[in-house]
A and B are shown apart, each in its own frame.
Chain A
Amino acid sequence: MAKQVRVGELESAVMAVLWDTGTAGVTAREVADALPGPELAITTVLTVLDRLQGKGMVTRVKDGRAHRYAATGTREEFLSGLMSDALDRSADRGAVLARFVGSIGEADSDLLRSLLRKRST
């Protein structure tokens, strides 16, 4: 299990940029500029954004002649989603993940509940 195929490092890096820039959205050019390391071709960034959009992580809004991209939720929302998956007690969840034990804590549970309510309305 030493060698695992991870989600492309690029996808992680692009999500990090989108999460750090907030909900207003950024253009592919701005993503390319914000990424650490050597400058990437815009087509590469667009490909990654496209894949993230396909996975429901990113939304795209037309803005003049370009598109602006934004994450579909904050980093905290996605983290809370993973945590509630991990700690959900329903039996099917137990089949999806094998957990040790754990709790999110009261404050976080409240936050989660309000987030879930927001999403379902």
Chain B
Amino acid sequence: MVIVVTVLAVLAVVLAWPVPLRLARADWARRHPAAGLVLWQAVGLAGGLALLTAELSLAAVHRPGSWRGAVGSIATRPGGLGLAGTIGLAAFLLTGAWLIGVLVASTLRVAAARRRHRYVLDLLAVRDAEVPGDVSVLTHAGSAAYSIPGRRSRIVVSRGACEALDEAQLRAVVEHERAHLRQHHDVVVQPFVAWRNSFPFLSAAGLALRSVEELTEFLADDAARARAGDRALGEALSVMASAEHPVDARRDRLARPGDGTTRTLMVAGLLACVIVLAPPILLATVA
């Protein structure tokens, strides 16, 4: 059991720091954002699993028998775990409650902020014959284009952006937002917001969130390229770019031809499964 605890703890640490660091820098992920996102999800899930099972194993460190038997015995006989076991159980319960609590709290907060934004937006937005029917227009001179995800989604473009973009460029922008909504990028990002909020002191969590957000932008860009063309998207990016919102990485991607993604996606998918399944398989075989 001591070996199990050690291996799982090492796995949790590796998945919490060096792996996210490498993945955030990976150039192939920029070329294949979908594969990158699959891998990020697996790393996040596996990291959490490894941490929780390490703590649970520590709780059962003095119990004899197989892993499942030893851990199961804690539920029926919680007494006499010893110091290490008690620490393990407390850590498991605290971490579990903390992770679930933060996930629920941040999901609710985000949902409330979206609802509020959509409510005010609907009071102010106007329709415009010059933009597609699913787009709300804000009569503001600044330039912004965004979408509100969720069941009652909205795509929003400011008047300033409408005036700065020509028809093809606006189409690229709208297609980018439609891709965000269609592919539910908000759901992909949400666990990483929770992860970052759970461990704000862990710089890898912030790094992971930024990387995942960037990859969803790349995915939406790829959809916009396919529907509106590379040129329109590139021009739209140049028009909408600003000091606070640089688009260099996204423009660089446009300069490169897209390459076949199926193979990379398959490899990433397999790797993802291995990472996620590693802790349970380890426990079933070793213990």
Contacts and interface: CB of A to CB of B under 8 A. Distances in A.
B113 A86 contact: no
A103 interface: yes
Contact of A1 (B114, B120, B146, B153): B153
Interface residues of A, number: 37
Given A87-B244, A91-B210, A95-B186, A79 B138 contact: yes
B144 A86 contact: yes
Interface stretch (A2-10, A31-39, A60-68): A2-10
Contact of A91 (B109, B117, B193): B193
Contact of A83 (B114, B153, B158, B240): B158
A102 B123 contact: no
Given A83-B138, A91-B210, A103-B142, A12 B123 contact: yes
Contact of B123 (A1, A2, A57, A108): A57
Interface string A95-109: 111111111110010
B134 A85 contact: no
Contacts of A2: 133-134
B140 A83 contact: yes
A91 B209 contact: yes
Nearest to B236: A100
Given A95-B186, A96-B114, A86 B124 contact: no
Contacts of A91: 193, 196, 206, 209-210, 213
Nearest to A16: B123
B216 interface: yes
Interface string B175-186: 011001100011
B204 interface: no
B134 A102 contact: no
Nearest to B154: A4
A100 B122 contact: no
Interface string B207-220: 00110010010001
Interface in B106-138: 106, 109-110, 113-114, 117, 119-124, 133-134, 138
A7 B122 CA distance: 6
B122 A12 contact: yes
B193 A86 contact: no
Interface in A5-59: 5-7, 11-12, 15, 55, 57
Contact of B185 (A15, A98, A101): A98
Nearest to B241: A101
A7 B156 contact: no
Q: What 4 A-B pairs come out closest when comparing CB atoms?
A: A103-B242, A99-B146, A102-B144, A104-B142
